[in-house]
Amino acid sequence: MDIFFDSHTHSIASGHHTSDTLFSLAKSASLKGLTHLCVTDHAPKMIGAAKESYFRNLRYGQKKIFGVNVIYGVELNVLDESGKVDLPPDILNGLDFAIASLHREIFKPSTEEYNTSALINAMDNPFVSVIGHPDDPTYEINLFSLTDAAKEKKVILEVNSMGVSENGYRKHNIGWLKEMLNECKRKEIYIVLGSDSHGSENIANFSDSIKLLNSIEFPEKLILNGDPQKFLFLAAERRKDKNIIRF
């Protein structure tokens, strides 16, 4: 399987677990043979994360570092059932894409219906093109409703290494994840592998996720990590569907 990019990484700007800057991340991505790297620091509501002004300025960020094309994103916090997130549209429009995730520090686990609605409503945000770690067992999620919505709204679902790798920091929920992936296979929903590396250490650390995908014969054509252009195209299409002009 070709792996040309990692869709989910954090730098010092996320405020925890690393002092690595964007430059160290790009250097590591380059050494690992990636052509592209998504930097997706935590949005402002996460404790210790960068403020709005940081994300506002990413549109002026260096496009190529150590030969690696940098894709500037953010990991947004879904705040409530309405799918509201913690950066406004004018800032999100300056980024290449956004991941929306549920985080226990911000979103108290509720009923399956409430949690699932939060993620599905976040998919209506034209700047959100990826749902991060939907398998987090902190939250009960209806995988059938989630995958139906991802298909309809053309949103990518993430396979996050931290919920799959043996030394990942999130509790595992492999049974649920496998079921979700089988639905993605059946409904032809794109997925992306994200390491969720805080710092450069775990960038493109996908071996356990790939093993899992192979075990269920997941079709390679639905895995976006071999095609960064397609990944960016899918993000751009979501804006276009809502007639948003990127500045």
Cα dihedral 54→60→61→65 (10° resolution): -170
Site string for Zn ion, 72-91 (x = CB under 5 A): ---x----------------
- Contact status, residue 10 vs residue 41, Cβ threshold 8 Å: yes
Q: Which stretch binds Zn ion (CB under 5 A): 71-79, 118-126, 183-191, 209-217?
A: 71-79
Residue 240 CB, shortest distance to Zn ion, in Å, is 27
Q: Which stretch binds Zn ion (CB under 5 A): 86-94, 190-198, 216-224, 227-235?
A: 190-198
Closest CA to 38 of 2, 69, 14: 69
Which of 16, 242 has the CB closer to Zn ion?
16
Q: Residue 221 burial by CB count (10 A; 0-12/13-18/19+): exposed, middle or buried?
A: exposed
Residue 133 CB, shortest distance to Zn ion, in Å, is 6
Contact positions with Zn ion (CB under 5 A) in 92-111: 101
Cα dihedral 182→184→185→190 (10° resolution): -140
The answer to whether residue 196 forms part of the interface with Zn ion (CB under 5 A) is: yes
Closest CA to 139 of 162, 158, 168, 119: 119
Q: Which stretch binds Zn ion (CB under 5 A): 78-86, 121-129, 189-197, 222-230?
A: 189-197
Residues that bind Zn ion (CB under 5 A): 75, 101, 196
